[in-house]
Amino acid sequence: MKKWKRPSKWVLVGVLSILFILVIGGWTSLSLLKDVNDEKASSLAEAKELGKVRAASSETIFVNSDKEGEIHAEIGQMHNYLNDLLGWGAWQSVNPDKMQEELETKHNYIVETLVPETKGTLKKDLLRAANGIQKALETNKVKSMFDTHRIFHDLDVVMNDIVVEDYWGVTETFGATSP
């Protein structure tokens, strides 16, 4: 019968180091997810019932009301892009540095195509959304893009009358869900 041999000190240090890294990594992931989920405001239906979703007239947010439908569609497409990029945990594998050209293209599209067609609060919301992409590119932190996604989410939901549970209440155009 073989006698059990005690592992060396270096093996124990290595195993403890790996466990420490796994625990810290897990805790960090859970913290990020908690931060993301804690910011959820309520459902759109609830926000509307409580009078927390403002109506915005076309004249106050669009330069040319003839392009309103086109802008609504473009906001929906940008929201879909961000859903695909960040949704269902996909954000964990996004590295803004490796997507620089694609993200710069989206940023420029917002600033050069959408912003000139808007005014007032919608223009401010779109500039804030573009700033989220810019910040992600500058810091290489995908978390900055959550703000961009939430802005496009709320704009898309209200403008295109999409039925969803989540309404973040982050746009100046349609209002926040908190008093």
Asked if residue 87 has pLDDT above 90, the reply is: no
- Domain extent for 155: 42-159
Which pLDDT score is estimated for 121?
93
Extract the tokens encoding 173. 């155009």
Cβ contacts of 49 within 8 Å, gap of 6 or more: none
Mean pLDDT on 48-63 = 79
Query: What is the reported pLDDT for 65?
Result: 84
User: What is the predicted pLDDT for the residue at 129?
Assistant: 95
pTM, two decimal places = 0.71
125 and 105 within one domain: yes
Q: Is residue 31 pLDDT above 80, yes or no? A: no
21 and 84: one domain? Answer: no
Does residue 79 share a domain with residue 32? no
Contacts of 163 (CB under 8 A, 6+ apart): 44
- Which pLDDT belongs to residue 42? 58
Q: What is the mean pLDDT of residues 91-105?
A: 81
When divided into structural domains, the chain yields a total of 2
| Whether the predicted pLDDT of 16 surpasses 90 | no
Whether residues 26 and 46 fall in one domain = no
By C-alpha distance, which of 127, 41, 108, 117 is closest to 73?
117
Q: Is residue 173 part of a domain?
A: no
Together in a domain, 67 and 96: yes
Residue 75, C-beta contacts closer than 8 angstroms, at least 6 positions apart: 114, 152, 155, 156, 159, 160
- Does residue 153 belong to any structural domain of this protein? yes
How does residue 119 score in pLDDT terms, banded at 50, 70 and 90? very high
